[in-house]
Structure 1
Amino acid sequence: MSSSEVPKFTLDKPRYDQSAFSGRVRHFFDLVDPMLLLTSDAKLKESVDLLAAFKAGKINPGQPGQVTDAQMWEARRIKEAILHPDTNEPIPAVFRMSAFVPANVPIIAGMLMSPPTVLNTVMWQWINQTFNAGFNYSNRNANAPQSTAEIATAYGAASAISVGTAVGLGELVKRATNLPPAVRGVVRTVVPFVAVASAGVANMYLMRRGEAETGIDVRDSEGNLVGRSQEAGKICLKQVAVTRVLLPVPILILPPVIMSGLNRTAFLKSNPRVRMAVEVGVIAGAIWGALPLAIATFPQVMPVETSKLETRFHQMRTPKGDPITTLYYNKGV
């Protein structure tokens, strides 16, 4: 299917093939679009109403006088970008996927462009983990509730780990005077990545550990709830941890490498304001591509073999008596 073709609308499956990495990337690129932040409450209600009417069989997209398939896919995109799939409540605007680029550009720019003082390191790591905590919590699997005390403890621990890792590694680099200057430069560039990646994993786990402790909902192929599984929760968190390690790779590694080449050009050397604008643009581009690529590592709705879950799921059967070998859960973001 070419990019210009619009498939027949359905609620049974996503627009793009989620079994393929390329399809998942296209799906998340749709949701990371910052323009979705401009969606009004009226437009959201209109989209939700359109989807409800379609589900009730009241409209038939593509027929004369009816809405088009493209309009229906756009309505679904708007709903999925704004409403949490578990609670059906609006995700706070600043923590939606569509806000990830505009929210992270100043954070990453501050981390990469500020002088590497202890104060700057502490400030930007704290700001980054504050945003990450809100993003992780807002986009979690909401079937595993957490108390306010648990959330506050997780946020404090994640911030402490982030700041401690970044400051500790930074001081280690400063004291490694026996390293060649070129090696020290490379290590100094990698320090923010190591700090952000390790803190990102810790932040995610601390904010979402309830999914492993109390379990998450698992469903059959028809979407019917069949129970809650702690093992599924543990598998889920391991998968999300991988995405948190992959996420900062292009964001923190690529901009310094790209700018080291561009900064050698005579034009940028003589135009510091243009150089700063170019650097911010490079950072924004890296962030825009990083989130869909990282999150698309695993499907949003993950299959899991019943043999990997608790024993109570091993002998499950369909109403027809057929054995159920695979169940599904919402991985969250």
Structure 2
Amino acid sequence: MDVNLQFWSTEGKSFFQRFLHWADILDPTVLLNSNKKIEKSRLLLQTNAQTLQEPLQDKKVKEAWKLSLSSVHPGTGEIIPLVFRPPAFLPLATPLLFASLLPHRGAKQAIIWQETALPQKQLLMCTGAVSYSACMGAFPYFVMTQHKLSGPMQTFFKRILPIPLLACLSVFNVMIVRGTEYENGIEVMDKNGKVIGVSQKAGLKAVQETALSRAALFGTAVIIPESLLYFLYRTNFLLRNPHALTPLRLVMTVSALGAMLPVSFSVFPQLGEIKRDDLEKEILSSTEETELFYNRGV
């Protein structure tokens, strides 16, 4: 079992544990470390068995864990490309999410921003999936411009509908990006880290859990700023200070997304569990273990 998964097997049993670790791991300054330093950290963790038993007692060891967990794929042991590492999620996703929520002059402009608001698609999603997501994301703006809505209907399409729509598109995005995991399956292992087999059911469970957490992340990250801005509108603060709208929206978006990111990553364990009876028949015949484990991913 990879050392990263060994870490989560002991340090990620409760939501609160996972949340504290992710709040530390997601520090964007971790991205400034070189690959050479990351490799040295991995070597330290792999050669010092004591660090696996007491992973957070030593400052140097704690820093090594932070680099390893934030930069190395536990399935392959390879260093993750910079833009796909968890600490890069916030600085990359925030401006794209913020831009996609800004008022647009027309449906064409909305489609462009909705396409760029899907950072995970790069090199992974097919053109058809991207186009579908972009069009669905721009749907509320298209309806408003075509039918010249006003009053409650305009409020619904402008402020309410984009929230569940963005959450659904987040689920769709994850399902497409990680489609090979439930089509081909992922490795399942026993408590000692021995790989028992490859399971499509475990792959589907891992993708579903990640998709749900991502929907909660983006849905909540939109609800909080929009709700606060709604109350500010009712106090006439923004009517008296119209130039404050954009910086306020930006600050609220960054704060909401930053606060929700470790929550989203912590909802489900990194080292997922699946019951033996829920697996394929060929795996059932390979082990007597009642529970098996898999890498959920992020």
Show the counterpart of 2:225.
255
For the aligned residue pairs, the C-alpha RMSD in angstroms reads 3.1
| Residue type at the aligned position of 1:192 | P
Q: CA deviation at 1:175?
A: 5.8
> For residues 269 and 167 of structure 1, what CA distance do their matches in structure 2 show?
27
Q: CA deviation at 1:218?
A: 0.4
Q: What SS does the corresponding residue of 1:88 show, helix, strand or coil?
A: coil
Q: CA deviation at 1:268?
A: 6.2
Show the counterpart of 1:99.
88
Q: CA deviation at 1:308?
A: 0.6
Q: CA deviation at 1:132?
A: 2.0
CA contact under 8 A between 1:158 and 1:199: conserved in structure 2? no
Q: What SS does the corresponding residue of 1:84 show, helix, strand or coil?
A: coil
Aligned residues: 295
CA shift in 2, pair 1:316/1:113, >3 Å = same
Relative contact order higher in (CA < 8 Å, ≥ 6 apart): 2
TM-score norm. by structure 2 comes to: 0.86
> Does residue 113 in structure 1 map to residue 102 in structure 2?
yes
Q: CA deviation at 1:204?
A: 1.6
> For residues 168 and 69 of structure 2, what CA distance do their matches in structure 1 show?
29
- The superposition leaves residues 195-216 of structure 1 with CA deviations (integer Å, 9 ceiling, x where unpaired) of 3222222222222111112111
Match of 1:243 among 213, 225, 229: 213
Q: CA deviation at 1:82?
A: 0.9
- The superposition leaves residues 127-152 of structure 1 with CA deviations (integer Å, 9 ceiling, x where unpaired) of 112x1224xx8xxxxxxxxxxxxx4x
| Residue type at the aligned position of 1:301 | L
Match of 1:325 among 276, 281, 290: 290
By percentage of residues, which structure has more helix? 2
> For residues 171 and 22 of structure 1, what CA distance do their matches in structure 2 show?
42
TM-score norm. by structure 1 comes to: 0.77
Q: CA deviation at 1:182?
A: 3.5
Show the counterpart of 2:71.
82
- The superposition leaves residues 101-124 of structure 1 with CA deviations (integer Å, 9 ceiling, x where unpaired) of 111221122112242521221111
CA shift in 2, pair 1:267/1:191, >3 Å = closer
1:64-83 mapped onto 2 (5 Å cutoff): 69-83=58-72
Show the counterpart of 2:170.
200
| Residue type at the aligned position of 1:220 | D
Match of 2:284 among 299, 311, 314: 314
- The superposition leaves residues 268-315 of structure 1 with CA deviations (integer Å, 9 ceiling, x where unpaired) of 666655553332121111111222222322111111011011112324
Q: What SS does the corresponding residue of 1:247 show, helix, strand or coil?
A: helix
> For residues 202 and 60 of structure 1, what CA distance do their matches in structure 2 show?
39
> For residues 237 and 114 of structure 1, what CA distance do their matches in structure 2 show?
32
Q: CA deviation at 1:332?
A: 0.9
Gaps of 5+ in 1: 1-9, 138-150, 318-322
Q: CA deviation at 1:83?
A: 1.2
> For residues 60 and 119 of structure 1, what CA distance do their matches in structure 2 show?
56
Greater gyration radius: 1
Show the counterpart of 1:146.
none
Show the counterpart of 2:142.
171
| Residue type at the aligned position of 1:245 | A
Show the counterpart of 1:19.
13
**Identity percentage of aligned residues:** 27
> For residues 290 and 9 of structure 2, what CA distance do their matches in structure 1 show?
26
CA shift in 2, pair 1:11/1:119, >3 Å = closer
1:115-130 mapped onto 2 (5 Å cutoff): 115-129=104-118
> For residues 61 and 226 of structure 1, what CA distance do their matches in structure 2 show?
28
- The superposition leaves residues 220-245 of structure 1 with CA deviations (integer Å, 9 ceiling, x where unpaired) of 01111111111211222222221232
> For residues 164 and 112 of structure 1, what CA distance do their matches in structure 2 show?
15
> For residues 160 and 169 of structure 2, what CA distance do their matches in structure 1 show?
14
